[in-house]
Amino acid sequence: MTSTPQTPTFQQPTNTEQPLDQPLYGASFGQAVSRYFKKYATFSGRASRSEYWFVALFTFVLNLIPSVFMCIGVARGQAWADKYQVEVPYGTTDGEHFETYTRGPGGIQSPDAVWIYIGLVLMILISLALIVPSLAVAWRRLHDTNRPGPWYFISLVPGIGGIILLVLMLLPSNPEGARFDRTQQTPIHAAN
């Protein structure tokens, strides 16, 4: 009798938590973010579509926080600068009437510019903290589509590279991607 190898199924256990070395198909937002930080710099293995896209949503929302600070600083700075605009004469058209232009401080010179600086510092800190795990989850997502992680760098191709990467991230899981799992061992069959 010969047994045929079984292809992996994409069902998660009902009573236990999915091991970290396996992709979590149908992950919730909380599960995806939790796994994102638990696998901070893990480039081996796979990440399901739900894991990847919930993490993308999380990083987008997290980056909104410094953006709000910066928008507040720009708006308040512009309102402050508008109060200090002055008209400056600079020449004559007919000997009697002067042309004028408006001059004043820029919004970045306002006392409320501190909001812009706080937002900028927060954005830099968040970006530095999330660059490695974001690259790792993208790498694992490519593994789940049965592509090696360095395909990520196709995004560096001007114009179309980012679109190609987006399409790759949207592709469904491919069972052959299990070859990227660290725990995946090929059985050694004894010769008859």
pLDDT of 85 reads 73
pLDDT of 69 reads 93
Q: Which helix (H) or strand (E) holds 86?
A: strand 86-92
Residue by residue, DSSP assigns 87-104 as EEEEEESSSSPEEEEEE-
pLDDT of 93 reads 60
Residue 24 CA to residue 47 CA, distance in Å, equals 7
pLDDT of 136 reads 95
**What's the length of the chain?**
192
Over its length of 192 residues, how does the chain's per-residue pLDDT go in tens digits? Answer: 555 555 555 555 444 577 887 889 999 999 999 999 999 999 999 999 999 999 999 999 999 999 999 999 888 888 887 777 766 666 666 666 666 666 666 666 778 889 989 999 999 999 999 999 999 999 999 999 999 999 999 999 999 999 999 999 999 999 898 898 876 445 555 444
pLDDT of 187 reads 52
Residue 45 CA to residue 158 CA, distance in Å, equals 29
Residue by residue, DSSP assigns 97-156 as PEEEEEE---GGGSGGGHHHHHHHHHHHHHHHHHHHHHHHHHHHHHHHTT--GGGGGGGG
